């Protein structure tokens, strides 16, 4: 199968072949752990997860790593502003008062390691809930920035030795952008453009000690900083970009990797700077052969932002703070992966409802096939007509819409050969990652349902009311069951209620 991927480096779809046949080295920029991850973050992470799972089902051995940014970076890229850990400490103090952060979770909010630990665990929990595979592989492939300070320092030293970096008069270490003539190839932000102010991310006062305004921070000596480490350039902290270059190289074991992913906002300056650092140190032409960027998630057509009041963490959605009732993790995963990664995903309440229907269809089909095959699962290869159409669609730059357009009509019919159908589903779900999550709640009612509403008893009562021809009472009971979050159906064997997934 020929795999084609859009490469942001060249702005075109290209044939994908890994450097080492059969093995893909892949790195995704991960979360900053100063807060809970939001649904936009998860769109990017799950987009990478989908690509990774597809490559695995297509037959590759995928080594997928992701960083956890637990170093207290500044709110501004040039080292100015406030440290994000300090911002988080203030918020946690408030959240402790209101009970949002449970007692005992962060004993001392002024300790940045406690803050990072709290949000790292929350991220790993949310990721597991949403089926992000790399998080299951923790700890080997989730790389903590604070555990790689030494590797960052070695890389910085190498850049100094190779004349790509310098120590300024005030002791700060900068990458000298002019020393790397491919700077701007990824984002189009060339030095000329930056100097004419288009990418201007440098405040006047911070430029004083730099050789050029576009130079970016590698190490900042600052013994008063909330998180600091010893270094040859004084006690201080690393710049934001250096962590990914250092960890990708040391933890994936190669100067050149196959795929690097992140959200579209990371193209500049983060990924542009990662390339300059990695290639500057290695002398290689590429850091990553393919750069894959996910377009942003919007909420009901608008940019997601706290000021708009439409800013949602994954937990907000799952726990019912967005739709007024809990959303099953399989539904949120489906919603976040169902749109092609190079289109904006418009997250809507209606879309969640559609995703819930699709997940229900998938699980109903699975249950029917399971029942009919009595547990037999057929051996199915990638050349099975449904599987191959599904994979071929994904091979075209992860065209998930086309892939789902293969699956959804197929599951609308009853399976002809249930064992074979189970084999196909198994393959397909290796990529989608929906059924494993769905099975956790759908069959035994919903695990997130904490109310003591007895739907089964209400159905029997409803049937009795119908038998007694007390239709007012039957209608009232039906409404009660619907209000408790169930779909209600009355058939020849009586009434059944199924918990809604969203
Ligand atoms: P952060 O924790 O802010 O560094 O972001 C983690 C990842 O989420 C990065 O790859 C970002 O590009 C991505 N990201 C942030 N906001 C959104 C959004 N609204 N839609 C999609 N991806 C996003
Ligand atoms: Zn990164």
Confidence category of residue 158, pLDDT binned at 50, 70, 90: very high
Q: Nearest to residue 43, comparing CAs of 357, 304, 241, 288?
A: 304
- The answer to whether residues 474 and 465 touch, using CB atoms and an 8 Å cutoff, is yes
Residue found under tokens 């000298």: 176
| 153 CA → ligand 2 middle, Å | 17
Protein residue whose Cα sits closest to atom 19 of ligand 1: 40
Ligand nearest to the CA of 30: 1
pTM over 0.95: no
What does R_g of the chain's alpha carbons equal in angstroms? Answer: 26
Ligand nearest to the CA of 344: 1
The tally of CA atoms less than 13 A away on the side-chain side of residue 219 is 28
- 4-294 has CATH 3.90.550.10 classification: no
Question: Measured from the CB, is residue 304 less than 6 Å from ligand 1?
Answer: yes
pLDDT tens, position by position, 100-145: 888 888 999 999 999 999 999 999 999 999 999 999 887 899 999 9
Distance 219 CA to ligand 2 centre (A): 16
Report in angstroms the alpha-carbon separations of 502 from 139, 262, 321: 32, 28, 12
User: What separation in Å is there between the alpha carbon of 266 and the centre of ligand 2?
Assistant: 8
What integer pLDDT is reported at residue 440 of this predicted model? 73
- Among the bound ligands, name the one nearest to the CA of residue 31: 1
84 φ/ψ sector (left φ>0, alpha ψ -120 to 50, else beta): alpha
pLDDT recorded at residue 84: 85
Q: Does 262 sit in the ligand 1 pocket, CB within 6 Å?
A: yes
Q: Is 261 in the pocket of ligand 1 (CB under 6 A)?
A: no
What is the mean predicted confidence (pLDDT) over 172-187? 97
Question: Ligand 1 pocket, 295 CB below 6 A?
Answer: no
Q: Is the CB of 44 under 6 A from ligand 1?
A: yes
Whether the pLDDT of residue 195 is over 90: the answer is no
Q: For ligand 1, is residue 297 a contact (CB within 6 Å)?
A: yes
Q: Which residue has the higher pLDDT, 449 or 117?
A: 117
Tokens of 263: 């959200």
Q: What percent of the chain has pLDDT over 70?
A: 95
- Would you give the end-to-end CA distance of the chain in angstroms? 37
Mean of pLDDT values over 344-353: 97
Q: Give the pLDDT confidence score for residue 104 in this predicted structure.
A: 84
**Near ion ligand 2, which residues have CB within 5 Å?**
29, 244
Compute, in angstroms, the gap from residue 121 CA to the centroid of ligand 2: 20
Determine if ligand 1 sits within 6 Å of the CB of residue 266.
Answer: yes
Q: Where are the alpha helices (DSSP H) in 374-417?
A: 385-395, 400-412
499 lines ligand 1 (CB under 6 A): no
The closest residue, in CA terms, to atom 15 on ligand 1 is: 41
Q: 229 C-alpha vs ligand 1 centroid, how far in Å?
A: 27
Cα distances from 321 to residues 312, 313, 327, in angstroms, run 9, 10, 9
Backbone phi and psi for residue 124, each to the nearest 5 degrees, phi listed first: -65, -40
Nearest protein CA to atom 7 of ligand 1, as residue:
41
Which residues of the chain are in CATH 3.40.50.620 domains?
A: 4-294
Q: What is the DSSP string of 145-183?
A: GGG-HHHHHHHHHHHHHTTSEEE-TTS-EEE-GGG-TTT
Ligand 2 geometric centre to CA of 270 (Å): 6
Q: What is the pLDDT averaged over residues 382-395?
A: 98
**Could you tell me the distance, in angstroms and rounded to a whole number, from the CA of residue 44 to the centre of ligand 1?**
6
pLDDT digits (tens, 9 = 90+) for 214-262: 999 999 999 998 899 999 999 999 999 999 999 999 999 999 999 999 9
Q: Cis ω on the peptide bond leading into residue 319 (within 30° of 0)?
A: no
């Amino acid at each position: 199968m020929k795999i084609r991927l859009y490469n942001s480096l060249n702005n075109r779809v290209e044939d994908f072949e890994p450097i080492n046949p059969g093995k893909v080295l892949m790195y995704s920029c991960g979360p900053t752990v100063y807060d809970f991850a939001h649904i936009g973050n998860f769109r990017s992470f799950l987009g990478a997860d989908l690509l990774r799972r597809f490559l695995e089902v297509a037959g590759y051995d995928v080594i997928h790593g992701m960083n956890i940014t637990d170093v207290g970076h500044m709110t501004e890229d040039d080292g100015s502003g406030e440290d994000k850990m300090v911002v988080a400490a203030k918020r946690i103090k408030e959240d402790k008062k209101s009970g949002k952060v449970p007692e005992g979770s962060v004993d001392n909010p002024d300790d940045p390691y406690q803050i990072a630990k709290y949000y790292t665990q929350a991220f790993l929990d949310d990721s597991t809930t949403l089926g992000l595979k790399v998080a299951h592989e923790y700890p080997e492939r989730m790389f903590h920035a604070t555990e790689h300070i030494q590797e960052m320092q070695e890389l910085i030293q190498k850049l100094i030795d190779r004349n790509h970096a310098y120590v300024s008069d005030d002791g700060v270490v900068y990458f000298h952008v002019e020393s790397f003539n491919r700077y701007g190839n990824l984002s189009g932000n060339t030095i000329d453009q930056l100097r004419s102010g288009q990418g201007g991310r440098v405040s006047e006062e911070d430029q004083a000690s730099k050789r050029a305004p576009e130079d970016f921070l590698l190490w900042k000596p600052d013994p008063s900083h909330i998180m600091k480490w010893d270094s040859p350039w004084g006690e201080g902290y690393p710049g934001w970009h250096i962590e990914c270059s250092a960890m990708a190289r040391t933890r994936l074991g190669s100067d050149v990797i196959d795929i690097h992913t992140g959200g579209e906002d990371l193209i500049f300056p983060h990924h542009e700077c990662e390339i300059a650092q990695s290639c500057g140190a290695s002398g290689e032409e590429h850091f990553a052969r393919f750069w894959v960027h996910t377009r942003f998630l919007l909420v009901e057509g608008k940019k997601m932002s706290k000021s708009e009041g439409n800013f949602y963490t994954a937990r907000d959605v799952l726990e019912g703070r967005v739709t007024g009732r809990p959303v099953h993790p399989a539904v949120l995963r489906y919603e976040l992966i169902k749109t092609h990664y190079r289109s904006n995903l418009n997250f809507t309440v209606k879309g969640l409802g559609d995703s819930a229907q699709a997940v229900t269809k998938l699980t109903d089909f699975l249950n029917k096939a399971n029942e009919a095959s009595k547990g037999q699962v057929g051996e199915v290869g990638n050349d099975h007509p449904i599987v191959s159409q599904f994979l071929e669609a994904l091979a075209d730059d992860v065209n998930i819409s086309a892939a789902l357009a293969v699956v959804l009509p197929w599951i609308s019919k009853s399976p002809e050969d249930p064992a074979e159908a189970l084999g196909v589903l198994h393959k397909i779900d290796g990529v989608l990652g929906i059924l494993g999550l769905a099975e956790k709640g759908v069959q035994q009612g919903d695990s997130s349902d904490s109310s003591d509403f007895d739907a089964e008893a209400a159905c029997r009562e409803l049937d009795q009311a119908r038998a007694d021809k007390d239709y007012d009472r039957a209608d009232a009971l039906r409404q009660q069951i619907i209000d408790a979050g169930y779909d209600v159906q009355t058939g020849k064997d009586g009434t059944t209620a199924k918990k809604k997934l969203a």
